Amino acid sequence: MHPLVDQIERLFLPDLERIASQMQARFPALKFNTWQWPTSVQPEYKDYDLGVECLFPAAAKGAADNVALIIELCFLNSTPRLNGSVVWNHPSGQLEAEFNDYYLTNAEWPEANQETVEELREFFPNLAEAFNSAVERGLPTDAA
């Protein structure tokens, strides 16, 4: 496994699991999951994600029924890049918060070096708050 993956898991997975546990206790009718896994289909990219998601079982048919806080690593086989975000699933796709919201593609994300990892660690409470707010609201603001 890539050393960045190990570092990111050590830094963020315990917090993601804590968030899932606390939110599950607050909202027992909702479903919270944490995950960590490689996400690339193409071997030349070597991407990896970890995160926490909330599923809304009573969401209206055709409405966004999932919001997730995601930490993403990409290009692990070349120049690794890093980002974190809170986003709703289809059909909304609304972005609640993002570590680097001025980048359009993962190729533009900041390079995953020690400084960037620390910046994301410092920004993480903002992502957690955005996730909590989205769960409390129960739907994207573009659907409100």
User: Within 13 Å and on the Cβ side, how many CA atoms surround 48?
Assistant: 20
The Cα–Cα gap between 23 and 88 comes to: 17
Which residue range is the domain that position 18 belongs to? 3-143
Digit-coded pLDDT (tens) for 39-94 = 766 665 688 999 999 999 999 888 899 999 999 998 888 889 999 999 999 888 88
pTM, full prediction? 0.91
CA angle at 102 for the pair 141 and 88, rounded to the nearest 5° = 30
Residue 106 DSSP code: G
**Tally of domains in the chain:** 1
Alpha-carbon Rg for the chain, nearest whole angstrom, is: 15
Peptide bond preceding 91: is omega within 30 degrees of 0, i.e. cis? Answer: yes
The two tokens of residue 141 are: 């603001």
